[in-house]
Amino acid sequence: MTVTGIHDLREALGYWARNTPDKIAFGFMPRGEDVTESLTFSELHAQAVGLASVIAQRIGPREPALLIYPTGLPFIVTIFACFLAGVIAVPAPQPQTDRARERTANIRAAAGAQVILTTEAIAQDKALRERLGSDCDWITTDLAVPTADFPAREWRPEDTALIQFTSGSTAIPRGVTISFGNLMANHAMIAQIFGADPSEPSVTWLPVFHDMGLIGTILYPLQAGRSTYIMPTFAFLQKPVRWVRAISRFRATGSGAPSFAYDLCARMVSDKDREGLDLSSWTTAFCGAEPVRVAALRRFADAFAGAGFCEDAFLPCYGLAEATLFVSGGPPRSGLRTVAFNGKRVVSCGKVLSPQIVRIIGPEGDVLPDGEQGEICVSGPHVSEGYWRDEVATAATFHARLADGTDGEFLKTGDLGFLQSGELFVTGRTKDIFIIRGVKHHGNDLDDTISSVSSDLVHGAGAVFVEEAETDGGDRIVAVHEVSRRSFANFDPDALARSVREAVTRVHGFTLDQVFFVREGRLPRTTSGKIQRHLCRAFARSDAAADEQTYP
């Protein structure tokens, strides 16, 4: 089902509040088990309108406001209140450490946000208030008293709805401006693969302050009038079975995550925990936000086949915040499709979704034919206008042109890949390439080789980097990888290090100078769970890793 006459999310919320007032829009499971709080569409609309009346008195139209919330319903009410008030929402996670508080302060400074929207509990964090500065205007939304009915401020499709700060797996995070027009264009693309049937519920634990979690599992389901059941990310990480239990319980048709989450479920959900699960309703198990690991997905499919999960439900996809979210995916129920490339199998990330244009570009800006690897470049109505208040980075990333001058400007994604019969295959990052002994190697390829050595290693949780040797100034090639919690106390590090070295030498033709093993969860990650390769070098040499085992 599609709804005509809806031009943005504000209209969608009003439509569903009028037509399905008592239907649950969002249910919240704070511990990943029981739904303790919920909002119907009419309740969400009423609360968002009330809060918008408060926000509009304190913030001018088209001004940014920093939203600091834990996962939960108050965040959802607040972001829709911002949309109604014509205020630019800048989502940020609740910071729990000094490092996280520093990042929040950096986001606030980059956004130029003078107003902080948050809860009373977070507003009492003295360390956070000190980091953000004394010139902030704090609005504690759980204490706000609505005024009279508030008419939504006027909007234009090109107006910025929100600023998404990128997770920073390869560089300093930047604020991507997302307009109301970008959102609607990308939602139309998502509907091509996910459909728009309001009767289909969804389940999510993805962080709500990143593109996949916010746009894919919060904003799009609301646009489609679906019920969505949410748990905090930590609830899933503590006990992965909670995710699949919720899918089974609510008969969810759509849910997804990066590859590591499927691997975590395959490894940590016991046979006993799988008893009684019914995953036959789960027809769209999307996978993105990091390289799609076919081996991890197939382990999940094998582990949960007895619970009714079908491998054809997997929907690998590709996207990025600079393109709002989705670029390619589907078609539905097509499963994992791989082709041979450079001596290995590469998984399809689906069909390129219309009406965008995707080109694979060579070093000189020339368009490459099917099957040839180059940088993925994207153009379309879902592509952001650029980075917030950063003209230099915007020009470098969003204004690329083809060598022949056709098709206008393109977004340079920084990702490598190739097209084949209209499907996109992603092979790595342009900035994730090592030149070792004169030969180029992709970091993802090295990680995959090491991950496959032993089941003691956490799949995809490692990094290879090159550093200068202290003695002769030459290059040293170092690998650091996580060992699973269940194996860390008992694995044979010397034997595992030998196996890792042998595998890298056999597959890639060079020898690792040093191998580090650390406990699962220790490597630096972005808030969306991606390994921060550029920080792994510093971590491996830091005091923080001193209690871990190191094997030369």
More confidently predicted of 434 and 517? 517
Q: Is-contact 406 200, C-beta < 8 A?
A: no
9-238 sits in which CATH class?
A: alpha beta
The model's confidence at residue 438, banded by pLDDT at 50, 70 and 90, is low
Task: Name the residue ranges covered by the structural domains of the chain.
Answer: 9-238, 433-551
pLDDT at 552: 43
545: pLDDT strictly greater than 70: no
426: pLDDT strictly greater than 90: yes
For 176, 203, 230, 527, the CA distances from 234, given in Å and listed in that order, are: 26, 15, 12, 11
pTM value is 0.82
Region for residue 452 given its phi and psi (left: phi exceeds 0; alpha: psi -120 to 50; beta: otherwise): alpha
Across residues 198-209, what is the average pLDDT? 94
pLDDT at 374: 93
Across residues 245-273, what is the average pLDDT? 95
CATH architecture under which domain 433-551 falls: 2-Layer Sandwich (3.30)
More confidently predicted of 405 and 240? 240
- Range from 12-21, 71-80, 94-103, 156-165 carrying the lowest mean pLDDT: 94-103
pLDDT above 70: percentage of residues in the chain = 92
The string of pLDDT tens digits covering residues 267-298 is: 999 999 999 999 999 999 999 887 788 888 99
- Range from 235-244, 268-277, 462-471 carrying the lowest mean pLDDT: 462-471
pLDDT at 546: 47
pLDDT at 473: 47
The string of pLDDT tens digits covering residues 299-349 is: 999 999 999 999 999 999 999 999 999 999 989 888 899 999 887 889 999
Q: Where are the beta strands (DSSP E) in 284-422?
A: 284-287, 314-319, 326-329, 338-341, 344-352, 357-361, 374-379, 400-401, 409-420
The model's confidence at residue 534, banded by pLDDT at 50, 70 and 90, is low
